Amino acid sequence: MRENVMAHRVAIGDYDGSDLLIKECYAHAKEPEDKAIVLQTRVRSHWLRSNFREALNDTLLALRLLGVEVNPSPTKREATSLFELVKNEVLAVGFDDILSIPRTTDPQTELAVALLNDAGQ
């Protein structure tokens, strides 16, 4: 419920109100997944306000809470190496087989994918 209220306040531009709710919800969140959900709302608020650095930092924090470590500033060599690794894995498995993989039902994985998707837009 609070996530809906926070999202609504962000959507209508009540950033001060949403910031207070986000802070309160984060303070009361016990589980890492709950904290990551609150951070996801804060990330969206940052994007709407063009606070890109804060959005990135909160995205990385939410991912870390979900057990996903991302290097925020890889070297060109590291980025190229990771790209080649992923490309080779995709080519080895094949696009059709990847598309036929069932969608995850794990809420933490879904949240991590949503955070990465939001960051990539």
What secondary structure, in 3-state letters, does the chain show? Answer: CHHHHHHHHHHCCCHHHHHHHHHHHHHHCCCHHHHHHHHHHHHHHHHHCCCHHHHHHHHHHHHHHCCCCCCCCCCHHHHHHHHHHHHHHHHHHCHHHHHCCCCCCCHHHHHHHHHHHHHHC
Looking at residue 3, what is its pLDDT? 58
Specify burial of residue 114 (Cβ count, 10 A radius: 0-12, 13-18, 19+): middle
Nearest CA among 9, 106, 97 for reference residue 49: 9
User: How far apart are the two ends of the chain, measured CA to CA in Å?
Assistant: 26
Query: Low-confidence residues of the chain, pLDDT below 70?
Result: 1-12
Looking at residue 4, what is its pLDDT? 62
Looking at residue 28, what is its pLDDT? 95
User: What six digits make up the tokens of 32?
Assistant: 């890492």
Looking at residue 112, what is its pLDDT? 95
Contact call for residues 38 and 22 (beta carbons, < 8 A):
yes
Looking at residue 6, what is its pLDDT? 60
Cα 70 to chain centroid distance, Å, stands at 11
Looking at residue 10, what is its pLDDT? 65
